[in-house]
Amino acid sequence: MIKKVFHLPPHTNIHKSNLNFEPTSWEKYFDHKDGILIGDNKFNVYTKGILGPVLFFIHGGGFSGLSWALLVEDLSKLIDCRYISMDLRGHGETQTMDDLDLSIETLTKDVLGVLTYLFSATNTNIILVGHSMGGGVAAHVAEEGVSQSIDFIKGIILVDVVEGTAIDALSGMQSYLRSRPKSFDSVTKAIEWSVKNGQIKNVDSAKVSVPGELKKINYSSPEYAEFSNSHKHSNPAGKYSSIPENCELDDVHMFPAIQKPTEDSTKSVYVWRAQLDKSGKFWEGWFKGLSKMFINLPIPKLLILAGVDHLDKELTIAQMQGKFQMVILSRCGHSVHEDLPDEVAGVVASFLAKHKMVVLANPNMASFEPTC
């Protein structure tokens, strides 16, 4: 494992008073947003940088490509790379013929299609970075690349995803989905809920990433009627307005009753873009066989976790044998790269420099110190 080796300025701490939850545009963090047309599907990607190898980011279930925004910003201060963050099907601004098909096979095919479209005619080194479900997709993409002799995938980084732990957690996934608000009066309210409920602990990250998790629908539209009918029995509270001012931030997650209906003062509502509640049949496939697949990949590998208790037996043995590098970061939730982008950036930059994939902007800032 590696200790934190870079010391970038931390981002906003959620315990500061007078928090501002107004959304931040993607343009603050990325240079371009493009739609890549493959067949009848249009995949949305965010890009930054023009030099160096490509860090290709794959987000987790329910998130979007914008969840990597702050990490990209911090990495760009440390190393010269090209950064590409993709919205998977059913997420963000990507539009496909079947947004509900979130099978690992389809997601893998989608990512390979985008990579082939962008890089098949170039000699480019690509490092895959995947969080949670996106980590499972990244591992399948890397394995598929190996089997097809696609040699531009040079490394893989998984963020807080372990096969055994992930599969064990799936039993509580539907309960979580039922407990969260189904709609919001505004994007600002969604950001507020995500931070104060502990889904994302970093306000700056929530302000840019949460908007990518939502879509706006009009009350008068057939889509809203369908949405209303599908949720009227699952969560009577339905809409989220605000958290009581006298509620401690660290305790908000204990109070699901804060989801209160508000007056219909507008003609639209914001709902979750990804329909995860309809994708349950695919969940186990995202993670099944992941540990063995990751260990056997013949490329440099890094695993970043939010806690040592997340590690399963197979990975523990392989890590002790030196088959991959591992870093444990504390003071964060499941969205490690959003909660602690500065620390994750340091770890990623050091890993890439160690394997001679990049040159550090300031080599004196880095050191590789083993930890227990």
Burial status of residue 166 (CB atoms within 10 A of its CB: 0-12, 13-18, 19 or more): buried
- Is 132 in the active site? yes
- Is 131 in the active site? no
Question: What element of type H or E holds 353?
Answer: helix 341-354
| SS3 at position 363 | helix
Give CA–CA dist 330/138, Å, rounded.
24
Give CA–CA dist 153/145, Å, rounded.
7
- Report whether 79 contacts 352 (CB < 8 A): yes
Q: Which position among 160, 185, 204, 339 bears the catalytic label?
A: 160
Q: Which position among 334, 335, 337, 350 bears the catalytic label?
A: 334
Task: Report which of 178, 185, 181, 175 is spatially closest to residue 194, judged by C-alpha positions.
Answer: 181
**Angle between helix 69-76 and helix 341-354 axes, rounded to 10 deg:** 50
Give CA–CA dist 337/156, Å, rounded.
15
Beta bridge partners of 41: 38
* 260 to 22, 218, 233, 256: CA distances (angstroms): 21, 20, 15, 10
Task: Report which of 43, 92, 47 is spatially closest to residue 69, judged by C-alpha positions.
Answer: 47
- Is 334 in the active site? yes
* 240 to 116, 194, 212, 216, 260: CA distances (angstroms): 41, 11, 18, 15, 6
Catalytic residues: 132, 160, 334
